[in-house]
Amino acid sequence: MDVSPSIFTLLFVSLLFIPAALFAQIDREAGSLIQTRSEVIGQRGMVATSQPLATQVGLQILKNGGNAIDAAIGANAAMGLMEPTGNGIGGDLFAIIYHAESEQVYALNASGRSPLGLSYDDLMEILEEQRVDSIPALDLLSVSVPGAIDGWFEMHDQFGSISMAEILEEPIWYAENGFPVSEAISASWKRSAPRLSQQVGAFKETFTFDGRGPEKGEIFKNPDLGNTFRLLASEGRDAFYRGEITRKIDRWMKENGGYLRFEDFDKHTSTWVKPQTVNYRGYDVYQVGGNVQGTAVLQMLNILEGYDLSKTGFATAETFHLMIEAKKLTFEDRAKHYVDEDFYDIPYETLLSKEYAEQRRALITSKASDDLTSGVEVLEEGDTIYLTTADKDGNMVSLIQSNFRGMGSGFVVPGTGFSFQNRGELFSLDPNHPNVYEPGKRPFHTIIPGFVMKDGEPFMTLGNMGGAYQPMGHVSLITNVIDFGMNMQQAGDALRWNHRGSTQPTDGLDDTLTNVGLVSIETSIPPQVVRDLRAMGHRVQVGNSFFGRFQAIMRDLENGVYYGASEARVDGQAAGY
């Protein structure tokens, strides 16, 4: 009898010894196993958002002669309609813009402020009556002035090239004629709809079908939002801040026990701020500072620059440990110092210095830390959208916008078509804390746009939504590209991690980190890496967490093209031409 192995047996056994890298080429003609799809490449323009129809709105604006700033505004308007689970004109906005003609990087803080007529003492008295010790998310106390629309008009006045009527034309069409709801957005919408339908106001009529969220593929219309857009197109930003819409809001707030008034809108302004920046291995990384957590990205990178991550390797226990510890150290500063600069002098000179990073780095040992505080004396789930655009002239926009908790507070003034944000929840109530509630003050924000320059030229825009996760997401994207040599789509598709348990800006001034917290890592993590992290003292869970959603554009000056990338875990799309 012939006992020699068959050709099929030999083939199977030989496959067992083929290197994993070769399998990557079997699975994909280019790229690697961690890459879900190829980057999008275009010469004349690029748009990336988390909703494909919104991406097409932005792209059409570019094709019609608008620039990257116009496209970002139009895409954001469409996003507020199509992904109300993450953003909308009842929320705030931050942007970093590279303006090709002036060759400058600009940063815009378009976040709103707390009601001028609600004092700290009044707030504390109300909370005492409610028997709560923090500002409730679904209470009118959490509603601050929406800053997004003023942000649009600031961007447009400074850099826009076509009229707001042209920019808003497609969003108005979709609001009035409807759009098919995409898969991931439908899932979030259905979770939020039943709870927020109980809120006073027009949420149920505006955002649900008799109390339920729309199914995937179901056509949804928001004619009230379309009418609001029409008013903005014809009357400008004043329609929202000192016109018909303002009067509606003022009247509704008075009738329903709210705290915002006409005066709060009339006095609202956005602020062009100096972008904060550090150099990381030859790349200039830019963030918005002040009452947002962008400074945390820069502090983490300063700490990590002291290690050779290309040698410790991507997704190894050693690299994860360094990143987790850098995050813990940085977030203790975040909890104490990232506040409205009109009320507190943020010590950037210390926080962003290489010397301070060296001092903080010295606190990292081979074990997980469980006892940390800020090194500078004092003088979180949220839903958001991030989008980015670029045009033929070299202008690039990195923009993030949010209602905070999903669909915001759920308070909808009849006839307006939008839900108010609940960012006021993120004030501290400690009277000695820099982030303490005060009238007319901007609360702490989690939303951050990112931008990177190389040798004085724009290199990439990047951002990801996801509450307190965002600095970790930015650092992961940046190190994936700079330290681990990934392209933009690989960088976003790669294994992600998150850490929770740090002190928060809503805590008291004396609160500090007192335990190791919880590390969450996506399910593709090798088991041995988990065992190694646990041996270092980290508490680790695999999966069962939230790891944000990203968009990014990289500029290739040598070839004269843009590379676009978008979130493959949900509905995202990058498109160029």
Q: Which residue has the tokens 């505006």?
A: 206
What pLDDT, on the 0 to 100 scale, is given for residue 17? Answer: 40
pLDDT at 60 exceeding the cut of 90? yes
273-382+446-561 CATH fold: Serum Albumin; Chain A, Domain 1 (1.10.246)
CA 410 to centroid of chain Cα atoms: 20
Mean pLDDT, range 121-138, rounded to an integer: 96
Give the angle subtended at the CA of 95 by the CAs of 384 and 100, to the nearest 5°: 140
Q: What is the dihedral of CA 23, 26, 31, 36, to 10 degrees?
A: -90
36 vs 233 pLDDT, higher one = 233
**CB of 97 closer than 8 Å to CB of 108:** yes
Q: Which of 572, 467, 546, 478 is nearest to 183 (CA)?
A: 572
pLDDT at 247 exceeding the cut of 60? yes
Task: Give the model's confidence band at 377: pLDDT under 50 very low, under 70 low, under 90 confident, else very high.
Answer: low
Other C-beta atoms closer than 10 Å to the C-beta of 9 total 10
DSSP state of 575: E
What pLDDT, on the 0 to 100 scale, is given for residue 144? Answer: 98
Mean pLDDT, range 335-353, rounded to an integer: 96
What pLDDT, on the 0 to 100 scale, is given for residue 16? Answer: 39
Strand partners, 552: 462, 565
Q: For 354-368, what is each residue's pLDDT tens digit? A: 999 999 999 999 999
pLDDT at 189 exceeding the cut of 50? yes
What pLDDT, on the 0 to 100 scale, is given for residue 31? Answer: 62
DSSP alpha helix (H) spans, 388-494: 470-482, 488-493
In the chain, domain spans = 42-91+113-272+405-426, 273-382+446-561
**CB of 525 closer than 8 Å to CB of 541:** no
Mean pLDDT, range 22-31, rounded to an integer: 54
- As a whole number of angstroms, the longest Cα–Cα distance in the chain is 96
Other C-beta atoms closer than 10 Å to the C-beta of 414 total 12
Strand partners, 180: 219
Q: Which of 396, 416, 543 is nearest to 58 (CA)?
A: 396
DSSP alpha helix (H) spans, 51-135: 52-63, 68-82, 120-130
| Separation CA 508–CA 55 (nearest Å) | 42
What pLDDT, on the 0 to 100 scale, is given for residue 248? Answer: 97
Task: Give the model's confidence band at 33: pLDDT under 50 very low, under 70 low, under 90 confident, else very high.
Answer: low
pLDDT at 382 exceeding the cut of 80? no
pLDDT at 427 exceeding the cut of 90? yes
What pLDDT, on the 0 to 100 scale, is given for residue 34? Answer: 77
| Helix 354-361 and helix 294-304, axial crossing angle in degrees, nearest 10 | 70
What pLDDT, on the 0 to 100 scale, is given for residue 373? Answer: 79
Task: Give the model's confidence band at 281: pLDDT under 50 very low, under 70 low, under 90 confident, else very high.
Answer: very high
22 vs 520 pLDDT, higher one = 520
Give the list of residues 6+ apart from residue 568 with CB closer than 8 angstroms, or none. 36, 37, 489, 492, 493
| Separation CA 465–CA 550 (nearest Å) | 7
Which residue in 384, 388, 446, 503 is the catalytic one? 384
Mean pLDDT, range 373-389, rounded to an integer: 74
**CB of 315 closer than 8 Å to CB of 529:** yes
Active site residue 384: yes
Mean pLDDT, range 522-549, rounded to an integer: 93
Task: Give the model's confidence band at 2: pLDDT under 50 very low, under 70 low, under 90 confident, else very high.
Answer: very low
Mean of all residue pLDDT scores within the chain = 93
Strands (E), 140-195: 179-180
What pLDDT, on the 0 to 100 scale, is given for residue 384? Answer: 86
Distances (CA, A) of 545 to 383, 404, 522: 14, 18, 8
Share of the chain above pLDDT 90, in %: 86
What pLDDT, on the 0 to 100 scale, is given for residue 29? Answer: 67
Mean pLDDT, range 448-456, rounded to an integer: 97
pLDDT at 8 exceeding the cut of 70? no
**CB of 427 closer than 8 Å to CB of 443:** yes
Cα radius of gyration (the chain): 24
| Separation CA 57–CA 46 (nearest Å) | 12
Residue 273 tokens, joined: 């701020």
Asked which of 30-34, 41-45, 77-81, 531-535 is least confident by mean pLDDT, the reply is 30-34
| Separation CA 360–CA 495 (nearest Å) | 26
Q: Which of 573, 575, 551 is nearest to 562 (CA)?
A: 575
pLDDT at 12 exceeding the cut of 50? no
Other C-beta atoms closer than 10 Å to the C-beta of 18 total 10
Q: Which of 423, 426, 473 is nearest to 448 (CA)?
A: 473
